[in-house]
Structure 1
Amino acid sequence: MMLSKSILFTLALVSNVPGSLAHWTYSRLVVNDEVVGEPWQYIRHHNNSNAPLTDVNSTDFRCNFNAQTAETYTVRAGDKIGFGIDEHFGHPGIQQVYLSRVPESSTAANYDGSGGWARVYSLTTAPANSTNSSSTTGNEGDDEVVTWATHNIQSFQLPLPATTPPGEYLLRAEGLALHAAHKWACAQFYVSCAQIKVVASSNIGGKGESAEFGPLVKIPGVYKGDEPGVLIPVFWSSLTNYTTPGPALWPEGTQEQHVVEQL
């Protein structure tokens, strides 16, 4: 029996719901345990809704598709800073943050992100036996499969390094979903950029200078698409170890995080 067009349309909508609900974006800036401003007030509003990016070689990979300028929020080096997530981190994967210093001759409002970017935060796998996981352990005697500290999070915060040099910056949230990343160019990136102005931390004598901001990478250019962590060897629910992509974290000595700090 032939199905009517209306029934087919309804089935198509139903089949698309889980995927669309699992997507997300970052529209809110979080500072010191509080959401500041309105959605998109300090974060560049892009025209990509909650769809992922898959082309790591596009300039859209910096701040997302057709991202518009926002207001710039002032923070102190050493403050906690982060993003609110709409609706939640809906796929297995990791959350990273990159920071790019605006040239002194420019401002965050008109900076295109073509300069260098430092990786300042990486939230990756959850601790063993954590309840904050998106997968299960294997059969008895098997290696445990990877679980994710990002599972269903709705916000996250990180300490902005106290040695961050004063100036204006783009702060880039990068969520990497790995549910299809066993196939070439199918890793899904969810990206937004906040505009911030950093003033010196009051805890270090008002200097806030760092001799070595970096290592710095260019975006695009930070990933090729075939490195471990972006192209994974097996379907995500069978992973027993994970290598995070990106340059060394800044400042030197910063560690990957395995427990998230939410609001």
Structure 2
Amino acid sequence: MAGHLVQAHTQLYNVAVGTTTYKHGEYIQPVVGPRLSPVANFTTDEIRCRNTNGVSPKTPYLSVKAGVEFSVVWRHHNDSAEDNMVSPSHRGPCMIYLGKVETNPDDIKWFKIYELGFNKDTNKWCSDVARDNHGKVNVVIPKDIEDGKYLLRTDLLALHKANVVWGAQFYPNCVQLDITGSSNKFLDPPPEFVSFPGAYKSDDPGIFYDRRKDKGLNYVIPGPKVYPPTKPT
């Protein structure tokens, strides 16, 4: 039974910049304990990167240019077509954050650069969209930030048990990036900064949520607003 449950879970498997995909685990921080296990208690340091670290000294930084398309790929164990990123039952939103590296990881100011929840037109959650794309989600590294060393924090939230307090399952991972070529300033208004732990509360409507009852129709993705804000069309 335990093996079956693990197969339902997920990890950040690799990353890509444009058409260049890096080998499994490169630039991704190691996790504490089983690499596929979720974080249920988001008041602990593990909600940051599924470990208790700030920077991982043995993990190199990937040099990327601000403004480029960056891809993250969730998988179970390998990159085969048969290896799903997560069980179809573990449906929910995806979120991606950036946080400039600080000596004390508690001082990192995180801001959200991507989110995708439920699409009423397609009846799909972000997890469904990512599974259809072999676990891959694309995000643009914002141009209007500061150069420097960052942690890029990915988070997939499974809502199948979120109808009870502490039932939501978080799957965070962090990538170590050295970002250059930015404008070296934030837009006005600047990002909405949050801390991990601290950004999520047990009664947040996107965390304590009955997916089967609401069917995604009124779902609110937890955390701050996405930066930079989407321009009106």
- In structure 2, the CA distance between the partners of 1:230 and 1:254, relative to structure 1 (3 Å rule), is farther
Number of matched residues?
213
Q: Is the 8 A contact 1:33 1:80 kept in 2?
A: no
1:64 aligned to 2:50?
yes
Scaled by the length of structure 2, what TM-score is found? 0.82
Q: How does 1:66-85 map to 2 (within 5 A)?
A: 66=52, 68-69=56-57, 70-85=59-74
Question: Equivalent residue of 2:105, what SS?
Answer: coil
CA distance in 2, matches of 1:78, 1:238: 35
Separation in structure 2 between the aligned mates of residue 52 and residue 83 of structure 1, nearest angstrom: 18
- Match of 1:86, as an amino acid? R
Which of structure 1's runs of 4+ aligned residues deviate more than 6 A?
none
SS in 2 for 1:28: strand
CA-CA distance at 1:187 after TM superposition: 0.2
SS in 2 for 1:150: helix
Alignment of 1:5-84 (within 5 A): 15-36=1-22, 38-48=23-33, 49-66=35-52, 68-69=56-57, 70-84=59-73
Matches within 5 A, 1:210-221: 210-211=186-187, 213-221=190-198
Matches within 5 A, 1:109-188: 112=105, 114-128=107-121, 130=122, 147-151=124-128, 152=131, 153-188=134-169
Compute the displacement of 1:238 (Å).
4.0
Q: Which runs of 5+ in 2 are unaligned?
A: 77-84
Q: CA deviation at 1:113?
A: 5.4
Shift of 1:252: 2.6
Larger radius of gyration: 1
* Counterpart code for 2:97: Y
1:149 CA displacement: 3.1
Q: Provide the identity percentage.
A: 24
Q: TM-score, normalised by structure 1?
A: 0.73
The residue number in structure 2 matching 1:193 is: 174
1:101 corresponds in structure 2 to 100
TM-superposed deviation, 1:254: 6.7
Superposed CA RMSD in Å reads 2.3
1:19, distance to aligned residue in structure 2 (A): 2.4
Structure 2: distance between partners of 1:83 and 1:235: 28
CA distance in structure 1 between the aligned counterparts of 2:213 and 2:5, rounded to whole angstroms: 16
Could you tell me which residue of structure 1 aligns to residue 224 of structure 2? Answer: 247
How far apart, in 2, do the equivalents of 1:239 and 1:21 lie?
24
